[in-house]
Amino acid sequence: MSAHTAIAAAQPNRFVPGYLAATMPQSVGGMPKAQRSPAADPLATIAQVKVIDREQSIFAEGDAADAIFRIVDGVIRLYKLLPDGRRQIIGFLQAGDMVGLAFAERYLYSAETVTACTVQRISRSQLDALLDAQPSLARKLLSVTTSELVAAQDQMLLLGRKTALEKLASFLLALSRRTDGNRAIALPMSRSDIADYLGLTTETVSRGFTKLKTSRLIRILDGGKVELLDHDALADLADCA
């Protein structure tokens, strides 16, 4: 069994079969290009860099899962199509995130760019060889992906019990945490994307933004950004469930 297969087999992939996204620590991902070196970032030595325009497919559900991807810049959505044709977004990925680590012969979800993106494509065969040669990297991937899965499962349980407004507050706070608690956060995804992620209608999401705005909890900024005016009140709202 390869190191990659061992990592995948150890993951509790219960919430979305075959889905796995992980944020790598600074020693492996999310590092400024000028600071990267083969020793600090071994994945970069085997990666093929690709620049992809917005609203383009990276891979589709059912495609052969012959590579993993690490995001260098931009935002990607992951989604599944339900039997009735509806779309369920299962995650938004940003710089430093990786997708496709779960071992399966075919992707069980689709990935598309929300914005123009730069990604690193790493073939599974090359990753297997690297992990076999560097067991410490395999352990790091296992640790990070396990933590991400636990956090995602907890989040899904919470969202399932929350009202629409509580879900939206949780979503905005989660984006804020990804930017080290910045009050102004970018929202490159559409209201429809947010609705498909939170299990709401687009109209409900729009009404939720209006309610948060009139309550002076957020302010809508130019350029697709939102400012969180009262972080504590949003946190209280998000924790109401």
Judge if 225 and 133 occupy the same domain. no
Query: Which of 29-43, 112-126, 145-159 has the least mean pLDDT?
Result: 29-43
Average pLDDT, the chain: 81
Kindly state the average pLDDT of the residues 25-39: 44
Instruction: Give residue 153's domain range.
Output: 3-159
pLDDT of residue 179: 81
pLDDT band at residue 31 under the 50/70/90 scheme: very low
Query: Which of 23-27, 92-96, 99-103, 137-141 has the least mean pLDDT?
Result: 23-27
Q: What is the CATH number of the domain that holds 170?
A: 1.10.10.10
Q: Which of 143-152, 175-184, 229-238 has the highest mean pLDDT?
A: 229-238
pLDDT at 26 over 70: no
Judge if 116 and 187 occupy the same domain. no
Domain count within the chain: 2
Which DSSP string do the residues of the chain spell out, in sequence order? --HHHHHHHTS---SSTT--EEEPPTTTSS--GGG--TTT-GGGGGPEEEEE-TT-EEE-TTSB--EEEEEEES-EEEEEE-TTS-EEEEEEE-TTEEE--S--SB-SSEEEESS-EEEEEEEHHHHHHHHHH-HHHHHHHHHHHHHHHHHHHHHHHHHHHS-HHHHHHHHHHHHHHHTTT-SEEE--S-HHHHHHHHT--HHHHHHHHHHHHHTTSEEEETTTEEEES-HHHHHHHHTT-
Kindly state the average pLDDT of the residues 30-52: 70
pTM: 0.79
Q: Which of 143, 159, 175 is the last residue of a domain?
A: 159
Judge if 49 and 137 occupy the same domain. yes
More confident residue, 105 or 187: 187
Kindly state the average pLDDT of the residues 175-200: 90
pLDDT of residue 210: 97
pLDDT of residue 140: 78
Query: Which of 58-62, 112-116, 155-159 has the least mean pLDDT?
Result: 155-159
Judge if 227 and 108 occupy the same domain. no
The 10s digit of each residue's pLDDT in 167-186 is 999 999 989 988 877 789 99
Judge if 145 and 51 occupy the same domain. yes
Judge if 13 and 27 occupy the same domain. yes
pLDDT of residue 173: 92
Q: What is the CATH number of the domain that holds 76?
A: 2.60.120.10
Judge if 102 and 203 occupy the same domain. no
More confident residue, 92 or 11: 92
The 10s digit of each residue's pLDDT in 113-131 is 999 999 999 999 998 898 8
Judge if 22 and 117 occupy the same domain. yes
Judge if 93 and 205 occupy the same domain. no
| Alpha carbons 241 and 116: distance in angstroms, whole number | 36
Judge if 79 and 198 occupy the same domain. no
Judge if 102 and 147 occupy the same domain. yes
Q: Which of 132, 159, 186 is the last residue of a domain?
A: 159
Q: Which of 159, 183, 213 is the last residue of a domain?
A: 159
Judge if 228 and 176 occupy the same domain. yes
pLDDT of residue 9: 45
